[in-house]
Amino acid sequence: MMNNFFYLSIILSIMLSNFSYTQILKPLDKEGEDSILTEETNYEMELVFEDENIIWAIEFFEDNSILASVKSGSIFHYKDGIKTQIKGVPEIYLRGQGGLMDIAFHPNFKENKLVYFSYASEDKVEKGGNTTIARAKLIEDSLIDLEVLYKGSPNSRKGQHFGGRLEFDDNNYLYFSIGDRGNRDVNPQNLNLDGGKIYRIYDDGTIPEDNPFFNNPDTKKAIYSYGHRNPQGMFKHPITGKIWTNEHGPRGGDEINIIEKGKNYGWPKITYGVNYSLTTITKNKSLPGMEQPLYYWLPSIAPSSFEYISSNIYPKWKGSLLAGALVFQYIERIGLKDNKVISRSKIAEDLGRPRDVKQGPDGYIYVSIENKGIYKIIPKE
């Protein structure tokens, strides 16, 4: 009897995993209206650099050449068709979704040569790993004077939800994300534990005294907002200077949020998603003192990256947002009006899993596709 039940549970699990979530939930915006997903056609995808690795993040030098991080633990410089490996990358804890993640140049990189990066690391004292933020000087093709600025704790052997995005604001504060590390019932709502948070630090790793919980005893003083699941997209709005994020929900309920000081974004107390098994996480879609997302996706697209289009090269797209959709393998363009989503469309469909999307100094949009390389989006006349 036990063996029959065991095999039946396996079959049921497989059936559920293959069952289209769109049969249960259709795409909705936060007002509950249908969100129609269209296709963009007036563009071409040009392969700029071919690479079989998972390029997790890209950053641009002034000459438009690219510095790219590879999840397995390498950093490369792509310039004029030549790929150069950067030396001095720290040891990486490669497990599940964890590895070498984002990279960001200091706003004054031209003068100080500082590169910031996020990665999963372990230590000898505590088994497992967690998200780590570090910086180093990039001199020629080597990282030197490596400094760890922040290490999430406690370590975990779980392989999910490392977060890992980095972004500087207009005042040179560094924001970064750490996901809930697969421990949703403990980390996101606990201010004494890392995970499920957005953090803000100075560029040298010290913590600003005006952080919302700096003067609270028994809290992580670098926390800027909390109640997040797994933010893997982040940009600074070029007009308002605000930090925007997108984050993975469970099955349904991926979110777009504008990050505000000290706010609670609700996970897992409120959510528009359900468990992967289709069981209920919570019946609450809202609670007092918890922020509502600017937008949420049903079904989930698994947003991997986030960018704001300010380039005149794309006049019809200017002012839109771009998010990588890992599960459906396209870039989603999100049209906005007064901070409300008014349109959604697909770009780069069926190329593969888009891991990062970024506007370069030349005004063109670049996309890293897992196991294929870096593409440039070229609009047609």
The pLDDT score that the predictor gives to residue 5 is 38
Burial class (CB in 10 A: 0-12, 13-18, 19+), 172: exposed
φ, ψ at 84 (rounded to 5°) = -115, 130
Catalytic residue among 161, 228, 237, 248: 161
80 vs 312: CA distance, rounded Å: 25
For 192, other C-beta atoms within 10 Å of its C-beta total 12
3-state secondary structure of 364: coil
Domains, the chain, in order of start with CATH, read: 40-379 (2.120.10.30)
Q: Which residues, listed in sequence order, are joined to residue 118 by a DSSP beta bridge? A: 133
Q: Return d(Cα 367, Cα 352) in angstroms, integer.
A: 11
Structure tokens at 252: 């349904």
161 as an active site residue: the answer is: yes
pLDDT value at position 35?
Answer: 62
By C-alpha distance, which of 288, 258, 260, 287 is closest to 271?
A: 287
The phi and psi torsions of 353 (rounded to 5 degrees) equal: -80, 115
Which residue stretches of the chain are H helix?
2-18, 109-112
Angle at alpha carbon of residue 34, lines to 33 and 36, rounded to 5°: 140
User: For the stretch 322-355, what's the b/e string if a residue is b when 16 or more beta carbons lie within 10 angstroms of its beta carbon?
Assistant: bbbbbebbbbbbbebeeeebeebbbbbeebbbbb
Residues in Cβ contact with 330 at an 8 Å cutoff, skipping those fewer than 6 apart: 346, 347, 348, 349, 350, 351, 354
Query: 291: part of which helix (H) or strand (E)?
Result: none
Beta-carbon contacts of 375 under 8 Å, excluding residues fewer than 6 positions away, are 45, 46, 47, 48, 348, 351, 366, 367, 368, 369
Distance (Å, whole) CA 280 – CA 276: 9
Nearest-angstrom CA–CA distance, 266 and 284: 10
Q: How far apart are CA 24 and CA 50, in angstroms?
A: 38
Q: What is the dihedral of CA 88, 139, 201, 357, to 10 degrees?
A: -80
For residue 8, count other CB atoms closer than 10 A to its CB: 10
Confidence at residue 25, expressed as pLDDT on a 0 to 100 scale: 34
Model confidence, pTM: 0.91
What is the spatial distance between Cα 273 and Cα 229, in angstroms, rounded to a whole number? 12
The sheet carrying 330-337 orders its strands as: 37-39, 340-347, 330-337, 321-325, 303-308
**Per-residue pLDDT in tens (0 to 9) along the chain, 381 residues:** 444 433 333 333 333 333 333 323 334 444 434 468 999 999 999 999 999 999 999 999 999 999 999 999 999 999 999 999 999 999 999 999 999 999 999 999 999 999 999 999 998 888 999 999 999 999 999 999 999 999 999 999 999 999 999 999 999 999 999 999 999 999 999 999 999 999 999 999 999 999 999 999 999 999 999 999 999 999 999 999 999 999 999 999 999 999 999 999 999 999 999 999 999 999 999 999 999 999 999 999 999 999 999 999 999 999 999 999 999 999 999 999 999 999 999 999 989 999 999 999 999 999 999 999 999 999 997
- Determine the Cα–Cα distance for residues 259 and 76; give it in Å rounded to an integer: 31
For 43-82, b where at least 16 C-beta lie within 10 A, e where not — what string? eebeebbebebbbbbbbbbeeebbbbbbbebebbbbeeee
Structure tokens at 26: 């259709």
Strand order in the sheet with 142-151: 100-105, 114-122, 129-139, 142-151
Tokens describing residue 343: 């349109």
- Report the DSSP beta bridge partners of residue 357: 367
Both tokens of 216, joined, read 């609270």
